[in-house]
Amino acid sequence: MPSRQPPDEPQWFVCHTMARCEKKFAALLERESIPHYLPLIRSAKRYPGSGTKHFEKPLFPGYVFAEIPPAKKNRIYQRDLVARALWVEDQALLLRQLDEVRTILASGVKITLQPLLQKGRRVRINAGPLMGVEGIVDNPDDPRGIVVSVDVMRQGILVPIDPEYLEPIT
């Protein structure tokens, strides 16, 4: 079965950047005149004694969307800002979803990034006293928590946790 490859015309890619390099990579794409989209959200951080600092951060940390011509694909790797560029086979779906993201962000409505959790998916807790604990999603439709297994005993512990503190393990 032949593998699906991007055609010879510019195609949209999901570019996985190095840690905290999204804005630098977007600036590189801008200099190279490569169409791209880096969805940003406003955030604030309080500093003791010096008030609150407002800034923009990526909605999807570690990712930038770019329409890369085949002739320029190698150039995106020259500055060690991107780990890999993943070609998206369903270009129309990606563009529709990016338009939806633009619409949502432009509306100013308060949003929260939420991973899509599937039953049986391995996840890691990314904040709080249980940070680093790994488990399995019990029921994403009724998210009561994750099951942490003790395999040798064929037992599991249901740990109640808010889904916003879970990250999928790849």
Inform me whether the pLDDT recorded for 2 exceeds 60: no
- Write the pLDDT tens digit of every residue in 118-152: 888 889 988 889 999 999 888 766 666 788 876 66
Model confidence at 33, pLDDT cuts 50, 70, 90, reads very high
Inform me whether the pLDDT recorded for 53 exceeds 80: yes
Q: How many CB atoms are closer than 10 A to CB 29? A: 25
84: CB partners within 8 A, 6+ apart: 15, 16
Distance CA 63, CA 17 (A): 6
Domain 11-107 has what CATH class? Answer: alpha beta
The residue-averaged pLDDT of 44-49 equals 88
- State the sign of the Cα–Cα–Cα–Cα dihedral 72, 74, 77, 82: positive
